Structure 1
């Protein structure tokens, strides 16, 4: 579905993403992890057209999307959430989601956008009452609203950016289960950026790890969790060196 080759993004003399290649198969959930500043959000901004790539190729369903505007990328079938939900408080809950649906797939039909909003709100468990306010939703409700807005655009590929931030343990489990349900029941492929690795690892099919803008590991969750390079990034040099020595002994 998505093939990214040698993707690079430079800001002046700083390289935020350096020569990263990966692919996403239709119907899978790919976890994208790494420390702060590793390039995760930059990759999402490149995939969604918010930032132009310095170099590299991004092919979605066989179409090159590098250089396309955000609305053309949304129309092609890529939707995304944002880490910090910012709803329009002058609009109702339903209107917030319908607006996203109109931008994504209902440009020629208000009815189509509203139908998409109904489906998206129901999918995330929020009310479809057209008079309901966004005020008082709380952290979990705002995350659901952000997800509903992305779903209303009619994506084939969803870029989920830190869907667990600000949630308690129960809410995190519910949000993770919701992402898996979106994949299983709606058939939407997902790339999920997250810092809460314990929850992410039990949901995703594969994991890709970034550090300083470069891909350092990719594979099944169990493989990545035991990769000495990943352990070094998250636990420090001594832990990584110990794990690397143990891995060499096992060989």
Structure 2
């Protein structure tokens, strides 16, 4: 099974947020989507999950168009996601949050559930001990894992993760690497992940797509982060220029105090 994004674009009041971007993710593959803030990464995920309409281009799931069909139909089709800003039901327990998605899967994706259970999902994400706790009572990193478990309760063919390591300490993000790899092996779903933690991205992804100012500037194995000059410019050159410009605007006394 393949999720294929073909030449998609999105504009907001005449400003191009995403321009002619294409990418592909196969079942069982983990693909990274990286770039500086404002590059268009979340906008692209929002189009794949039908939270935003596609202006031009197409998105297909195994050859079937799935763009502009709405979030509910997208989830039923087999695409689930998490959000940059966590969207759990804060007054529900961990188990209840997952049950909401699991009930939908039983109704609309029963054939995809297989041996999937809420208990196994909680075990895989390390949240079993929080089963009866309200989501609002949990640490931010734990809430992230609950949101991933809820998305997986839809038994998706493809999982979209928007900044899954945000709010996690280094040890937690490394544990998440193992959890995602295990889930991929167990469920066989493809994963597209946005994250600013490049160590996490290089540890978990087979391929990486790099966006800048709404355009795809590089794609390839994780070594593209090190070897592609365009990526070096985005992640190193631009930051170096910004530091230089900041320093140039300071007095000698200010510069010495840094």
- Band the TM-score falls in, shorter-chain normalisation: 0.7 to 0.9
Deviations 1:77-105 (A, max 9, x none): 100011222322322221111112233x1
Aligned counterparts of 1:5 and 1:109: Cα–Cα separation in 2? 26
Q: Does 1:25 align with 2:26?
A: yes
Q: Does 1:156 align with 2:130?
A: no
For residue 99 of structure 1, give the secondary structure of its aligned residue in structure 2.
helix
Instruction: Report the alpha carbon displacement of residue 124 of structure 1 after superposing the two structures with TM.
Output: 1.1
Q: Does 1:68 align with 2:54?
A: no
TM-score, normalised by the number of residues in structure 1: 0.87
Q: Does 1:38 align with 2:39?
A: yes
Is the deviation greater in 123-132 or in 51-60? Answer: 123-132
Instruction: Report the alpha carbon displacement of residue 109 of structure 1 after superposing the two structures with TM.
Output: 10
For residue 216 of structure 2, give the secondary structure of its aligned residue in structure 1.
strand
Q: 1:87–1:238: structure 2 CA closer, same or farther, 3 Å change rule?
A: closer
Q: Does 1:47 align with 2:48?
A: yes
Structure 1 residues 124-135: aligned runs within 5 Å: 124-127=125-128, 131-135=132-136
Aligned counterparts of 2:229 and 2:31: Cα–Cα separation in 1? 20
Aligned counterparts of 2:64 and 2:83: Cα–Cα separation in 1? 24
* Unmatched segments (≥5 aa) in structure 2: 242-258
Residue 197 (structure 1) aligns with:
198
Aligned counterparts of 1:18 and 1:173: Cα–Cα separation in 2? 33
Instruction: Report the alpha carbon displacement of residue 167 of structure 1 after superposing the two structures with TM.
Output: 0.9
Q: 1:109–1:163: structure 2 CA closer, same or farther, 3 Å change rule?
A: closer
Aligned counterparts of 1:143 and 1:121: Cα–Cα separation in 2? 12
Instruction: Report the alpha carbon displacement of residue 9 of structure 1 after superposing the two structures with TM.
Output: 0.5
Q: Does 1:107 align with 2:103?
A: no
Q: 1:38–1:109: structure 2 CA closer, same or farther, 3 Å change rule?
A: closer
Q: Does 1:98 align with 2:99?
A: yes
Aligned counterparts of 2:239 and 2:31: Cα–Cα separation in 1? 29
Runs of 4+ deviating beyond 4 Å: 237-240
Aligned counterparts of 1:64 and 1:218: Cα–Cα separation in 2? 24
Residue 118 (structure 1) aligns with:
119
Instruction: Report the alpha carbon displacement of residue 139 of structure 1 after superposing the two structures with TM.
Output: 1.9
For residue 89 of structure 2, give the secondary structure of its aligned residue in structure 1.
coil
Q: 1:118–1:236: structure 2 CA closer, same or farther, 3 Å change rule?
A: same
Contact 1:119 1:152 in 2 (8 A): no
Q: How many equivalent residue pairs? A: 236
Aligned counterparts of 1:44 and 1:168: Cα–Cα separation in 2? 25
Aligned counterparts of 1:109 and 1:156: Cα–Cα separation in 2? 11
Q: 1:109–1:184: structure 2 CA closer, same or farther, 3 Å change rule?
A: closer
* Unmatched segments (≥5 aa) in structure 1: 241-251
Aligned counterparts of 2:46 and 2:109: Cα–Cα separation in 1? 28
Instruction: Report the alpha carbon displacement of residue 108 of structure 1 after superposing the two structures with TM.
Output: 6.8
Residue 84 (structure 2) aligns with:
83
CA RMSD of superposed structures (Å): 2.3
